[in-house]
Amino acid sequence: MADAIETYPVPVLDPFKGVKKVPLEEYFTSGHRTCQGCESALVMKLMVKAAGPRTIVLGSTGCMYVANTTYYSTSWVVPWMHTQLGSSGSAGLGTAAALKVLMRKGKIPTEPINVIAFCGDGGGADMGLSAISAALTQTEYNFLILMYDNESYANTDIQLSGATPWGAHTTFSPPGKMKRIMHRRWKKNVAGMLAAGHPECKYVATVCASYAVEMMNRVRKGLSIGGPTYIHSLDPCPKGWDYDPIQSHELGEMAVNCGIWPLYEVENHTLKLYGRSRGLAEGRTRRLPVREYLNRQGRFAHFTDDDIDYFQSKIDEMWTKWLVPGVIPFASDLRNDKVPA
Amino acid sequence: MAQVREPEVALADTEALISGSEAIAVACKLADVDVITAYPIRPYDTVMQYVAKLVSNGEMDCEYIVAESEHSQFEIVKHASAVGARVFVGSSGVGWMYAFEALTVTPGLRIPMVAMVGNRALDDPGAFGVEHNDALAVRDLGWMLVWVDTAQEALDTALLAWRIAEDRRIFLPCAIGCDGAFLTHSQSMVKIPIPEKVKEFLPRYDRGDLRLHPDNPITIAPQANEDWVMEIRKQNDAASRRAPGVITEAYADFERIFGRKYGNPFFEEYETDDADVVLLGMGTMSMPVKVAIRKMRKEGKKVGFVRLRWFRPFPTEALQATLGRFKAVGVIDRDYSFGSPYFSGVVANEVRTAMYSAEKRPPVVGFICGLGGREVTVPAVREMTEMTFRAASGERLTDTYWIGLRE
């Protein structure tokens, strides 16, 4: 059945060698209504700049749908279509399947067309996880799923999601007189889960738009490697995280430098930490204490010293106890496991 | 699996003993469907088992995707259709309800899609048998809804459904109601047309300037809010209003090309010419009803039957003209609408609404029968007919009557 697993051609998208090599053309332009300092809007802009004009973008419900596509003032230069909150995986899959079959049957010219389906953390880490997981097993179709993770349902008034950090103040987890910490769940390790759980998926990466060229090159890799791929972007959100919008970039850098957001890619089953995260893993650079990162954000303003210590201890675990630091949260002791005699 | 293979070049229509589900799978092959998504739930899923065999045997060229839920199943084909692929999908009972969000947005997006609903009772309590509440749940959303009676009609109606749904004047999804077990799993002889005729009947699906492609960079389904939503809804309404004309056109072409006549596309009339009263219902209940009518006719009772095919668009004027000829109408619902006017089924209240502005308004008696796949028996049909005759003689029967109910 070799014929059955053929896909249409993928584009050649070599990495940009430095910011000066990035094209000037924009495919996500004016007309949107995102907040001042919105990092996710930058992610949209860089994502589609990296992909180029022969791209179809599917956007699931969330900030980047509601704010970006006001009727008659769309900010998308490339074709764009809304998909449901839990449907980014299905949207990417269905679009890619149609392109594939229409090209095979000669109904449209055969050419590389990028398909990107994006979702927020609510759409990806919560409701759409099942569809994304299914989509990542569909190796006959080429598409990228990009999650812009601003760590809450930010469009609907900042409610906690499966990707909201422990203890954060959201409108569904307000600190009160009896309970200081309402949100007692640790953030899901979505990229690690998707990389580990889908052995045929050729590319999973985490990115942060504070490192824009690195981020764009990961998008280019995800689109050109073939098959379904996944990129997870951590996006500081001035409204949801409660900080001065001027600090968005800096907070992204701090998230990486304190180790709470490891940057890595799993390319053809090979894990590689990159950027500052690599230095942290190799012990070349020291992790920034998380206290500085937390103190910048109003959503953690109710934290006591004990809360901060607990938070720090969880991050320490990521780097000292996890089987694959920052990626796979099994205890390192597994390495010493021996088959019973 | 029955025989559906044809010689390389079929010169004439063939005939095969196949089920309603298989008939629709054959229609998928004839229509050269591009993308099909499957997810298991009884009884509709038999259609996907046949599709899977057609694909694995190389008899059909399509993207056949097994989804991880009905929601994804319907979302995948929705997006495929937006790119310009002809699609087929289906479900039953609570599976259809699981896809409800996708079902909601599809007509709003003006996406043509043909879905088979193997009608099944909604859980709980569990029942595999037929009830029409699953498909009827989308009746307000812009879906076209058609109920079929036989495997032949299932095949023919599927071809019609793509033709109508993909007509630029319509661009709406169409669901084909197939009664669980009675049609999905029952075999009968079906004439399978040669592909050339299908090609002539069914033009290529062309989304034109609405297709999603880098050559046509449009934004689909933006945030419209109160500024424009009402105007966009009105466009959907206009498409629904155009549907009866497009349906009539398609059936006329169907008759010309395939030589099979359906007469009035919207409903079938049986023994109505001289009838005093008629029963009205949808789907496979027509068989026991027709058997009972033949028996009662021998006893001199002038009763007929109207089998409604197209529930959306609802054939208001045609039904007014037809039902106005009778002294009373008994509507048999294989569904329920708890708390509705008269505590009726859905069809009875639609018929009442349609008749309200008619010149001649016979009394309408509402019956609920055959729920959960329970048989609609000949004695039950007799009982409903007798009550309809009593209404014709002036007795006020304004409640809704559950027939075949155990004490």
A256-265, B5-14, B171-180, B276-285: the lowest-pLDDT one: B5-14
Secondary structure class of A175 (helix, strand, coil): coil
CA distance A320 to A333: 11
- Give the pLDDT band (50/70/90) at residue B7: very low
Closest partner residue to A81 among B32, B76, B212, by Cβ? B212
C-alpha to C-alpha distance for B64 and B76, rounded to whole angstroms: 11
Q: How far apart are CA B393 and CA B384, in angstroms?
A: 14
**Is residue B4's pLDDT more than 60?**
no
Q: Would you tell me which residues 67-126 of chain A have a C-beta closer than 8 angstroms to some C-beta of chain B?
A: 69-72, 74, 76-84, 86-87, 89-91, 93-95, 97-102, 104-105, 107-108, 113
| Contact criterion met (CB < 8 Å) for A56 and B80 | no
State the ipTM, two decimals. 0.95
Contacts of B78 in chain A (CB under 8 A): 94
pLDDT, tens only, B352-378: 999 999 999 999 999 999 999 999 999
3-state secondary structure of A60: strand
pLDDT score at A4: 45
Residue of A nearest to B84 (CA): A98
Residue B90 neighbours by CB under 8 Å, 6+ apart? B24, B44, B47, B48, B115, B116, B117, B118
The answer to whether residue B349 scores a pLDDT higher than 50 is yes
**Residue B330: what pLDDT?**
98
A334 has a pLDDT exceeding 70: no
Considering only CB atoms, A53 lies closest to which of B68, B71, B214, namely: B214
The 10s digit of each residue's pLDDT in A279-314 is 999 989 999 999 999 999 999 999 999 999 999 999
Q: List CB contacts (< 8 A) between B227 and chain A.
A: 71
- Contact with chain B for residue A130, Cβ under 8 A: yes
Which residue on chain B is closest to A140 by alpha carbon? B63
Counting one residue from chain A and one from chain B, the pairs whose CB atoms sit within 8 A come to: 141
Across chain A, mean pLDDT equals 94
| Res. B103: pLDDT tops 60 | yes
Taking contacts as CB-CB distances below 8 angstroms, the residues of chain B near A3 are none
A115 forms bridges with which residues in the sheet? A56
Mention every residue, 6+ apart, whose C-beta is less than 8 A from residue B286: B149, B268, B270, B305, B307
Least confident interval from A223-227, A328-332, B289-293: A328-332
Q: Do B77 and A94 touch (CB under 8 A)?
A: yes
Model confidence at B380, pLDDT cuts 50, 70, 90, reads very high
The verdict on a CB contact (< 8 Å) between B62 and A78 is no
Residue of A nearest to B206 (CA): A107
A58 close contact with B: CB closer than 8 A: yes
Q: B10 pLDDT band (50/70/90 cuts)?
A: low
CB contact under 8 A, A101 and B81: no
Distance from CA of B58 to the nearest CA of A (A): 10
Look at A111-115, A327-331, B286-290 and tell me which has the smallest mean pLDDT.
A327-331
pLDDT on residue A3: 45
In this predicted structure, the answer to whether residue B174 has a pLDDT above a threshold of 80 is yes
Average pLDDT over residues B133-150: 98
Band (A5; pLDDT cuts 50, 70, 90): low
Percent of the residues in chain A that have a pLDDT greater than 90, as a whole number: 89
Residue B1 reports pLDDT greater than 50: no
pLDDT of residue A6: 67
Name the residue among A97, A107, A138 with its Cβ closest to that of B80: A97
Question: Tell me, what's the pLDDT at A52?
Answer: 97
* One-letter amino acid of A29: T
Backbone dihedral region for residue B349 (phi beyond 0: left; psi -120 to 50: alpha; all else: beta): alpha
Nearest to B340 by CA among B327, B330, B328, B353: B353
Candidate from A195-199, A325-329, B3-7, B301-305 with smallest mean pLDDT:
B3-7
Q: Which of the residue ranges A61-70, A243-252, B1-10 has the most confident prediction, judged by mean pLDDT? A: A243-252
Calculate how close chain B gets to A223, using CA atoms only, in Å: 16
Model confidence at A331, pLDDT cuts 50, 70, 90, reads confident
Are B67 and B40 a contacting pair, CB within 8 Å? Answer: no
Mean pLDDT of the B77-103 span: 98
Structure tokens given for A59: 């956007």
Residue B115 has pLDDT above 60, yes or no: yes
Shortest Cα–Cα distance, A262 to chain B (Å): 30
Task: Find the mean pLDDT for residues B381-387.
Answer: 98
d(CA A146, CA B157): 40
Q: What are the Cα distances from residue B56, in Å, to A1, B2, B23, B46, B90? A: 10, 16, 18, 15, 20
Whether residues B222 and A113 touch (CB distance < 8 A) is answered with no
Flag whether pLDDT at A337 surpasses 90.
Answer: no
pLDDT score, position A1 = 38
**Residue B63 with chain A: CB contacts under 8 Å:** 97-98, 100-101
Q: In this complex, do A131 and B213 lie within 8 Å of one another by their Cβ atoms? A: no
For residue A187, the distance in angstroms to the closest alpha carbon of chain B comes to 25
**Residue B183, pLDDT above cutoff 70:** yes
Q: Average per-residue pLDDT in chain B?
A: 96
Look at residue B9 and tell me whether its pLDDT is greater than 60.
no
What are the helix (H) ranges across A52-189? Answer: 63-66, 88-104, 121, 129-135
For A87, which of B63, B75, B222 is closest by C-beta distance? B75
Residues of B engaging A, defined by a Cβ cutoff of 8 Å: 32, 34-35, 61-63, 65, 67-69, 71-72, 75-85, 101-102, 105, 204, 212-214, 216-225, 227-228
- For the segment B117-131, the average pLDDT, to the nearest whole number, is 96
CB contact under 8 A, B78 and A94: yes
SS3 category, A111 = coil
- pLDDT at residue A116 greater than cutoff 50: yes
Q: Strand A203-207 to strand A228-234: parallel, antiparallel, or no bridges (unpaired)?
A: parallel
Residue with token string 């088959």: A339
Residues of chain B contacting residue A55, judged by C-beta atoms under 8 Å apart: 214
Best mutation site among B59, B72, B81 for testing chain A: the one with the most A CBs within 10 Å?
B72
Write a three-state SS string for chain B.
CCCCCCCCCCCCCEEEEEEHHHHHHHHHHHCCCCEEEECCCCCCCHHHHHHHHHHHCCCCCCEEEECCCHHHHHHHHHHHHHHCCCEEEEECHHHHHHCHHHHHHHHHCCCCCEEEEEECCCCCCCCCCCCCHHHHCCCCCCCEEEECCCHHHHHHHHHHHHHHHCCCCCCCCEEEEEECCCCCCCEEEEEECCHHHHHHHCCCCCCHHHCCECCECCEECCECHHHHHHHHHHHHHHHHHHHHHHHHHHHHHHHHHHCCCCCCCCEEEECCCCCCEEEEECHHHHHHHHHHHHHHHHCCCCEEEEEECEEECCCHHHHHHHHCCCCEEEEEECCCCCCCHHHCCHHHHHHHHHHCCCCCCCCEEEEEECHHHCCCCHHHHHHHHHHHHHHHCCCCCCCEEEECCCC
Beta carbons of B213 and A76 less than 8 Å apart: no
**How large is the angle between the packed helices A39-51 and A248-257, nearest 10 degrees?**
80
Report how far residue B355's alpha carbon sits from residue B350's, in angstroms, rounded to the nearest whole number. 9
Q: What is the pLDDT of residue A323?
A: 86
**What pLDDT is attached to residue B5?**
54
The HSE-up count of residue B218 (CA atoms within 13 Å, CB side) is: 12
Taking only the tens place, the pLDDT of each residue in A158-201 is: 999 999 999 999 999 999 999 999 999 999 999 999 999 999 99
d(CA B191, CA B211): 35
Q: A81, A111 in Cβ contact below 8 A?
A: no
pLDDT band at A241 (very low <50, low <70, confident <90, very high): very high
Average pLDDT (A51-77) is 94
With beta carbons under 8 A apart, name residues in chain B contacting A104.
Answer: 61
Say if residue A24 is exposed, middle or buried (CB neighbours under 10 Å; 0-12, 13-18, 19+).
Answer: exposed
What percent of chain A lies above the pLDDT cut of 70?
Answer: 95
